[in-house]
């Protein structure tokens, strides 16, 4: 007991006497003897007496009718009551001991929907529990589902949750399960209150809860093969592969952007792992010279990246880290990366207040490594998997507690298997702008998933016979899968006829795409994705043998000899011979023609490649007589020719061989024009016999 001020209402200070009596419950009295030394009165009437004393609350709550404080003034000699009064005491609550709070769900990142478990041992009985979460902010329990038999009370709102229908017996351990709770913003230790309502026990300012990890969001994923990476870096050019997914277990680079909701301090650990279901194969990261992982940030305006991985940032700087190591699974296969983050250069920090906060929390001993709410580009070289995988991105502090996480919920891009493809023409030589039968053989790759479409992408210039050639694009043919018993196992072989290009293509590759088409049963949205592909090197074009000879003189009028070969199995019937601009060719008189010849005329049913020919400069020669030479027939023809005065261009002569239905089956489209010799003069040659010719005997002739 003590007096709160220097005022002493009693004439003489005396030591109080504290007496306690134990009956049904403990009761205590504080007795102050009043000294009557000197003249009376010792206490003036209406004198206010104020003092303080130390007390210990009762071990159990008091009933409201018994929680009163009594003041009694009596005479010391005969204990005669002089005055008395009473006032209500303060509420005494029971204790909630051994309180723990943990995140029970597998999601732990800030803002996610997860489960929380709270355990405690009360000292009194109660049936209702109220819990308030103050730090970190952002908790929401409006849709929480308490574990049975508890019920969510209508007073639950925001970060306050009230559960009823409990049987919290004293001195027993109880657990409250809160399912589907929205976690807070993260990055701080939990600070909460818990109390029973109507209040019989409480625990205020509980700081020993779980550490709420901040959230990590991942966006703009890109998986590119090494060929595609080099393509976009300008080291090589490929017109097709950048449009296709990479093959499984072939060196590729994964790129994605991460954004943290809370800063990460230097010395913390960044963990990047590839997760998969039981029995699956995860992505296998690589950390070798020339293929090291990299993390970048944008120092300046950040407009994001496009679908090709081009980051719209004027100044890309690297994030420093050390102690890079591979995370391995139980089979010693790499599945992730672990790195210790180093301090960020203060020049790159946008929110300076974060630096002040870290300095205040750590007494200036630590600094920032990753800033919140900024794009960080992560590039990892790996051997990709074609299984369904997820990315787990998390950070841990120097004690090993998680500080940021995406809970491994971000789906990763999958690779596809490589299909075996061969393409072979059915002729030994493929002529230009001619119809050729080809055989394409396809076999699904290892681990191939089911597909419903099989497409063949032809090289530029190749077109299926009867189809229109696309402008500046590759033609495509869809193969019929109905004739295949098991497309995932069987080797598939198809034959069809294509029109070859004029010249050998710079990229003669053939591509086969296996696509899976699915339709969502609820939204009716159709998805069409590539689940496998392969390529074949293809083949080039080679013209047939043609030899054209004539007097290479200005304004020459005379004969032209034309010799060509055609495969015996081709079935060539007609030869269309086209002269360059300013040249004129014509058929000789029928009596002098080795083959039937006439000016070219159009007729119905001819393909476009024929109807586009210049009629005035084209002759139609019927291939009636040929001489066998190996697997070919050799044809010869003499034509009349008129040359121009000046050779203004090097446009070639063209020869097309057609079958009975006017399909071009062989050709030579680059027959060069002879360079003129302007200083020479030519006349028709003469033949004379120097000795009389006799049948069956050798004779001497002179040609002039």
| String of DSSP letters for 421-473 | EEEEESSSS--TT-EEEEEEEEEPPTTPPP-SEEEEEPPTT-EETTSPPPTTS
Give pLDDT, residue 345. Answer: 93
- Dihedral sign, Cα of residue 634, residue 638, residue 642, residue 647: positive
- CA distances, 132 to each of 98, 145, 194, 661 (Å): 17, 16, 6, 88
When pLDDT is cut at 50, 70 and 90, the band that residue 391 belongs to is very high
- pLDDT tens readout for residues 580-623: 998 999 999 999 999 999 999 988 878 888 888 999 999 999 99
Strand positions, DSSP E, 226-320: 252-260, 264-265, 269-276, 284-285, 294-298, 302-305, 311-313, 316-318
Q: With 90 as the cut, is the pLDDT of residue 680 above it?
A: no
* Lowest model confidence (mean pLDDT) among 138-147, 180-189, 451-460, 504-513: 180-189
Q: With 60 as the cut, is the pLDDT of residue 190 above it?
A: no
* Averaged pLDDT for residues 352-362: 92
Give pLDDT, residue 36. Answer: 61
* Averaged pLDDT for residues 137-155: 92
Task: Quote the pTM value.
Answer: 0.74
Give pLDDT, residue 40. Answer: 64
Q: With 70 as the cut, is the pLDDT of residue 191 above it?
A: no
* Averaged pLDDT for residues 62-79: 77
* Averaged pLDDT for residues 65-77: 79
Give pLDDT, residue 196. Answer: 66
Q: At 120, give phi and psi (nearest 5°).
A: -165, 165
- pLDDT tens readout for residues 28-63: 888 887 766 666 666 677 777 788 888 888 777 776
Count of C-beta atoms within a 10 Å radius of residue 113: 14
Tell me the CATH number for domain 214-411.
2.60.40
Cα–Cα distance measured from residue 239 to residue 646, given in angstroms and rounded to the nearest whole number: 42
The DSSP symbol for 261 reads: S
Cα–Cα distance measured from residue 221 to residue 307, given in angstroms and rounded to the nearest whole number: 9
| Fold equal for 96-206 and 214-411 | yes
List the chain domain ranges.
Answer: 17-88, 96-206, 214-411, 420-536, 546-671
Give pLDDT, residue 139. Answer: 92
Structure tokens at 33: 């003897």
Structure tokens at 689: 């016999």
Structure tokens at 35: 């000294």
* Lowest model confidence (mean pLDDT) among 115-129, 184-198, 497-511, 548-562: 184-198
When pLDDT is cut at 50, 70 and 90, the band that residue 71 belongs to is confident
* Lowest model confidence (mean pLDDT) among 34-38, 271-275, 632-636: 34-38
Give pLDDT, residue 439. Answer: 96
Instruction: Identify which of 37-51, 95-109, 381-395 has the greatest average pLDDT.
Output: 381-395
When pLDDT is cut at 50, 70 and 90, the band that residue 575 belongs to is very high
Structure tokens at 681: 């003069």
The answer to whether 552 and 558 are in contact (CB under 8 A) is no
Q: What is the 3-state secondary structure (H, E, C) of 68-130?
A: EEEEEEECCCCCCEEEEEEEECCCCCEEEEEEEEEECCCCCCCCCEEEEEEEEEECCCECCEE
Give pLDDT, residue 587. Answer: 96
* Averaged pLDDT for residues 348-369: 92
- pLDDT tens readout for residues 285-340: 999 999 999 999 999 899 888 877 889 998 999 999 999 999 999 899 999 999 99
Q: With 60 as the cut, is the pLDDT of residue 189 above it?
A: no
What is residue 423's three-state secondary structure?
strand
Cα–Cα distance measured from residue 351 to residue 373, given in angstroms and rounded to the nearest whole number: 10
Cα–Cα distance measured from residue 670 to residue 369, given in angstroms and rounded to the nearest whole number: 66
Give pLDDT, residue 292. Answer: 95
- Give 546-671's CATH code, choosing from 2.60.120, 2.40.170, 2.60.40, 3.90.350: 2.60.40
Closest by alpha carbon to 502, among 609, 425, 576?
609
* Averaged pLDDT for residues 182-190: 71
Q: Long-range contacts: 228-233, Cβ < 8 Å, 24+?
A: 229/253, 232/308, 232/309, 232/310
The DSSP symbol for 231 reads: H
- What radius of gyration do the chain's Cα atoms show? 48
- pLDDT tens readout for residues 203-257: 777 766 777 889 999 999 999 999 999 999 989 899 899 999 999 999 999 999 9
Q: Give me the count of residues in the chain.
A: 704
Tell me the CATH number for domain 420-536.
2.60.40
Q: Chain-wide mean pLDDT for the chain?
A: 89
Cα–Cα distance measured from residue 219 to residue 413, given in angstroms and rounded to the nearest whole number: 11
Q: List, in order, residues 6 or more apart from 35 with CB less than 8 Å away.
A: 10, 11, 12, 14, 42
When pLDDT is cut at 50, 70 and 90, the band that residue 199 belongs to is low
| Phi-psi region at 323: left, alpha or beta (left = phi > 0; alpha = psi -120 to 50) | left
Given CATH 1.20.120, say whether it is the number of domain 96-206: no
Q: With 90 as the cut, is the pLDDT of residue 76 above it?
A: no
Give pLDDT, residue 23. Answer: 76
CA 660 to chain centre: 55
Q: With 60 as the cut, is the pLDDT of residue 518 above it?
A: yes
Closest by alpha carbon to 370, among 311, 317, 301, 291?
317
Closest by alpha carbon to 319, among 338, 342, 352, 290?
342
Structure tokens at 465: 């016979």
Cα–Cα distance measured from residue 129 to residue 164, given in angstroms and rounded to the nearest whole number: 7
Q: At 90, give phi and psi (nearest 5°).
A: -90, 155
- pLDDT tens readout for residues 157-178: 999 999 999 999 989 999 999 9
């Amino acid at each position: 007991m003590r007096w709160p001020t220097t005022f002493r209402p009693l004439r003489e200070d005396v030591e109080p006497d504290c007496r306690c009596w134990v009956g049904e419950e403990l009761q205590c009295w504080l007795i102050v003897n009043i000294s009557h030394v000197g003249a009376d009165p010792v206490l003036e009437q209406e004198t206010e007496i104020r003092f303080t004393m130390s007390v210990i609350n009762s071990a159990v709550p008091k009933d409201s009718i018994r929680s009163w404080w009594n003041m009694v003034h009596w005479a010391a000699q005969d204990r005669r009551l002089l005055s008395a009064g009473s006032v209500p005491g303060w509420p005494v609550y029971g204790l909630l001991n051994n309180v723990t709070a943990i995140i029970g769900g597998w999601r732990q990142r800030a803002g996610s929907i997860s489960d929380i478990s709270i355990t405690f041992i009360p000292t009194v009985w109660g049936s209702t529990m109220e819990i308030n979460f103050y730090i970190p902010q952002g908790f929401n329990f409006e849709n929480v589902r308490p574990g049975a038999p508890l019920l969510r009370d209508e007073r639950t709102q925001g970060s306050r949750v009230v559960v009823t229908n409990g049987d919290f017996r004293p001195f027993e351990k109880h657990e409250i399960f809160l399912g589907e709770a929205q976690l807070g913003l993260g990055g701080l230790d939990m600070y909460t209150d818990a109390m029973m309502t109507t209040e019989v026990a409480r625990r205020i300012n509980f700081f020993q809860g779980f550490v709420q990890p901040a959230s990590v969001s991942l966006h703009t994923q890109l998986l590119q093969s090494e060929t595609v990476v080099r393509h976009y870096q300008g080291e090589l050019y490929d017109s097709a592969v950048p449009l296709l997914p990479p093959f499984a277990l072939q060196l590729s680079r994964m790129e994605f952007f991460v954004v943290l909701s809370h800063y990460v301090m230097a010395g913390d650990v960044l963990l990047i792992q590839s997760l998969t279901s039981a029995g699956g194969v995860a992505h296998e990261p690589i950390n070798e010279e020339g293929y090291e992982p990299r993390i970048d940030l944008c120092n300046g305006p950040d407009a994001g990246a496009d679908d090709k991985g081009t980051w719209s940032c004027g100044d890309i700087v690297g994030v420093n880290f050390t102690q890079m190591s591979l995370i391995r699974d139980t089979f010693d296969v790499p599945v992730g990366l672990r790195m210790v983050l180093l301090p960020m250069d203060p020049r790159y920090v946008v929110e300076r207040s974060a630096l002040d906060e870290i300095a205040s929390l750590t007494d200036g001993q630590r600094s920032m490594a990753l800033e919140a709410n900024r794009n960080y580009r992560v590039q990892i070289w790996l051997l990709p998997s074609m299984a369904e995988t997820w990315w787990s991105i998390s950070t841990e502090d120097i004690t090993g507690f998680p500080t940021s996480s995406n809970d491994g919920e971000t789906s990763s891009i999958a690779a596809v298997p490589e299909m075996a493809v061969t393409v072979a023409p059915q002729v030994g030589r493929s002529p230009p702008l001619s119809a050729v039968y080809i055989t394409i053989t396809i076999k699904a790759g290892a681990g191939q998933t089911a597909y419903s479409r099989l497409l063949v992408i032809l090289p530029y210039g190749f077109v299926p016979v009867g189809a229109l050639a696309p402008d500046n694009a590759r033609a495509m043919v869809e193969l019929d899968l109905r004739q295949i018993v098991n497309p995932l196992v069987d080797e598939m072989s198809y034959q069809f006829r294509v029109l070859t290009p004029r010249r050998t293509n710079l990229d003669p590759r053939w591509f086969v795409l296996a696509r899976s088409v699915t339709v969502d049963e609820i939204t009716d949205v159709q998805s069409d994705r590539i689940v496998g592909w392969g390529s074949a090197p293809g083949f080039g074009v080679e013209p047939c043998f043609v030899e054209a000879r004539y007097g290479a003189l200005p304004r020459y009028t005379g004969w032209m000899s034309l010799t060509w070969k055609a495969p015996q199995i081709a079935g060539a019937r007609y030869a269309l011979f086209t002269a360059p601009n300013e040249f004129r060719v014509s058929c000789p008189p029928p009596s002098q023609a080795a083959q039937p010849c006439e000016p070219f005329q159009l007729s119905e049913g001819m393909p476009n490649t024929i109807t586009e020919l210049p009629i005035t400069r084209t002759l139609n020669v019927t291939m009636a007589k040929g001489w066998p030479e190996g697997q070919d027939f050799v044809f010869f023809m003499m034509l009349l020719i008129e040359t121009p005065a000046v050779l203004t261009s090097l446009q070639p002569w063209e020869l097309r061989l057609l079958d009975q239905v006017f399909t071009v089956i062989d050709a030579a489209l680059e027959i060069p024009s002879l360079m003129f010799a302007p200083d020479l003069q030519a006349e028709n040659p003469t033949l004379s016999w120097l000795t009389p010719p006799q049948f069956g005997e050798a004779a001497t002739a002179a040609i002039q």
